[in-house]
């Protein structure tokens, strides 16, 4: 069952630019109680197969994100 969650996250965007014009986006995904969520999928909307999964501390880093993109967070649990 797909669980609807309130995702609180801190997103830190670096100024590092790539040849493709993308940026690095990193952050931590937390649940309603402030606990880190493991295994949350973070993808660039509209880019099939481009994404990462949060680690044991709820952290993620996705590189080469085009300016103006939307990140999609999904969690099944």
Question: pLDDT digits over 47-66, tens only?
Answer: 888 899 999 999 999 998 99
pLDDT at 29 over 50: yes
User: What does pTM read for this prediction?
Assistant: 0.70
Cβ pair 22, 64 in contact under 8 A: yes
Rounded Cα distance between 77 and 71, Å, is 20
Nearest to 47, CA basis, from 29, 70, 67:
70
Q: Where are the beta strands (DSSP E) in the chain?
A: 8-13, 22-30, 41-44, 51-53, 59-66, 71-74
């Amino acid at each position: 069952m797909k669980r609807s969650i309130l995702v609180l996250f801190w997103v830190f965007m670096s100024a590092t630019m790539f040849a493709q014009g993308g940026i690095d986006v990193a952050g931590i995904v937390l649940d309603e109680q402030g606990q880190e969520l493991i295994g949350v999928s973070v993808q660039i909307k509209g880019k099939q197969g481009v994404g990462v999964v949060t680690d044991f501390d709820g952290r993620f880093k996705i590189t080469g994100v085009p300016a103006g993109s939307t990140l999609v967070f999904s969690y099944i649990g």
